[in-house]
Amino acid sequence: MIICEQKNYFRRAKNNVEMMIDISHVSERILYEDNHLIIVHKLPGEIVQADKTCNEPLSEKIRTYLKEKYNKPGNVFIGIIHRIDQPVSGVVIYAKTSKGLFRMNEVFKLRRIRKFYHTLVEQKPVVADQTLVQYIRKNEKQNRSIISTEPKDGYLTASLHYKYLQPTKNYHLLEIELFTGRHHQIRAQLSANGTCIKGDLKYGARRSNPDGSISLQAQKVIFEHPIANKIIEVETPFGLI
């Protein structure tokens, strides 16, 4: 079970003094905002958009934030551009206008965006810097993805590049650039490669994280703004370690 109402704190240095700030409120997690887009750090356990549960989605928290910030009397438009899994944290892009939503949907469709993740894994990878190109199929009944090293009927190409960054006390930090956005792709490919993500029981981790999260974070995005025609590079300051 994922605990959604927990307090979330982040250690930040200010004027050479280290302090803990509460980032449970969405206003503390705005990474970028303009007239058309808003980019936010999603906490593990939050859902990107409304689903069958009673949990308040991040989209509604942002809607409330914008309504209060700009004193808007009517409904506030929030467009869902992409999603990351509920137990995953990190960078999520929303549209503030229908034009922004349409243009960013094209950016994602044409893969004109670079997406980077950080993850803690249980095993040190045998190869420190590698591109994985495999084939993936979603098992709807089990809500998990299956990896094949050979093409098969019903399987889609899944590709990513990972790079070993550093060891931690009990785990290993990797950076991943995701080239295709398949269901549970990073989780399934790393597991098939012998490097299970910390806390990810579904894909072979030894134990769960206390809050039900998995140690995978959408760390950075780079893309050309489809309306402003400028390069946007946004990285979350909230680290896994």
Residue 237 to residue 241: CA distance in whole angstroms? 11
Q: What is the mean pLDDT of residues 230-241?
A: 94
- Neighbour count for residue 24 (Cβ, 10 Å): 13
DSSP 84-139: --TT-EEEEEEESSHHHHHHHHHHHHTT-EEEEEEEEESS--SSSEEEEEEEEEEE
Query: Is the per-residue pLDDT at 175 higher than 80?
Result: yes
Residue 31 to residue 41: CA distance in whole angstroms? 7
- Contact call for residues 36 and 77 (beta carbons, < 8 A): no
pLDDT bin (cut points 50, 70, 90) of residue 239 is: confident
Query: Is the per-residue pLDDT at 64 higher than 90?
Result: yes
* pLDDT at res. 73: 87
Task: Give the tens place of pLDDT for each residue, 17-60.
Answer: 444 556 678 999 999 999 999 999 999 999 999 887 778 999 99
* pLDDT at res. 23: 66
Amino acid at 210: P
* pLDDT at res. 5: 37
* pLDDT at res. 12: 46
Q: What is the mean pLDDT of residues 192-199?
A: 98
Q: What is the mean pLDDT of residues 205-228?
A: 97
- Contact call for residues 85 and 200 (beta carbons, < 8 A): no
Query: Is the per-residue pLDDT at 7 higher than 90?
Result: no
Q: What is the mean pLDDT of residues 143-159?
A: 97
Query: Is the per-residue pLDDT at 9 higher than 60?
Result: no
- Per-domain boundaries in the chain: 9-235
* pLDDT at res. 8: 54
Residue found by looking up tokens 């989209």 in the block: 59
Residue 76 to residue 213: CA distance in whole angstroms? 30
Q: What is the mean pLDDT of residues 92-115?
A: 98
Query: Is the per-residue pLDDT at 76 higher than 70?
Result: yes
Would you identify the CATH topology of the domain 9-235? Answer: Pseudouridine synthase (3.30.2350)
Residue 120 to residue 126: CA distance in whole angstroms? 15
Q: Which of 6-20, 34-48, 194-208 has the lowest mean pLDDT?
A: 6-20
Query: Is the per-residue pLDDT at 4 higher than 60?
Result: no
Taking all residues of the chain, what is their mean pLDDT, rounded to a whole number? 91
Query: Is the per-residue pLDDT at 209 higher than 90?
Result: yes
Beta strands 216-224 and 89-95: pairing type?
parallel
Q: What is the mean pLDDT of residues 144-152?
A: 97
- Contact call for residues 133 and 188 (beta carbons, < 8 A): no
- Contact call for residues 227 and 95 (beta carbons, < 8 A): no
Residue 148 to residue 136: CA distance in whole angstroms? 6
* pLDDT at res. 241: 79
Nearest to 5 by CA among 41, 49, 54, 38: 54
Which tokens is 223 given? 């893309």
